[in-house]
Structure 1
């Protein structure tokens, strides 16, 4: 089953390679969507693909890359868009 989630990650998550790490992990898992920095210091992503793969990436975002310090992750299901590829959004 295909699923899409919006994720907002809080903590020390900007300036530590979080977006690039997320994009690499998503592409390796065959997932679609995007990731971007938010003005308030959070990282936001929409991730789409196989339900299990999406869940594994969301779980990985709870730890993040080695230099990140994640203090919170908010997720919500959003409508599937049928998107292909994963990008770093402006």
Structure 2
């Protein structure tokens, strides 16, 4: 697996709609590690690490999310490689 990590801050209606768990499913299907975490301001932070192409594909999916979600913004930034053993949600 490649050493690539990307961080996303996802805004909109993304808390209380199963967004983090849907991201986890996408990440696990793509064999990525990292996490999805609710932020105090109502956004969700997502870190995806692994194969660059797969991480970018899941990052594109973040705009969609699960059916109840309404994503209004996704801010992406590459970040230094971090060694995660799994994909977790808080």
Please state which band the TM-score falls in when normalised by the shorter chain: over 0.9
Q: Under a length normalisation based on structure 2, what TM-score does the superposition of the two structures give?
A: 0.94
Q: Alignment RMSD, CA only?
A: 0.9
CA positional deviation for 1:20: 0.4
- Residue in 1 that maps onto 2:50: 49
Equivalent runs, 1:1-80 vs 2, <5 Å: 1-80=2-81
Q: Normalising by the residue count of structure 1, what TM-score does the alignment of the two structures yield?
A: 0.94
- SS of 2:74's partner is strand
Q: What is the distance in 1 between the residues matched to 2:89 and 2:15?
A: 13
Aligned structure 1 segments of 4 or more residues deviating by more than 2 angstroms: none
For residues 7-40 of structure 1, what are the alpha-carbon distances to aligned partners after superposition, in whole Å with 9 as ceiling and x for unaligned? 0000011110000000111011100001110010
Question: What runs of 5+ residues in structure 1 fail to find an aligned partner?
Answer: none
Gaps of 5+ in 2: none
What does the per-residue CA deviation read over 1:31-81, in whole Å, with 9 as the maximum and x for residues that have no partner? 000111001000001110100000000000011111100000001111011
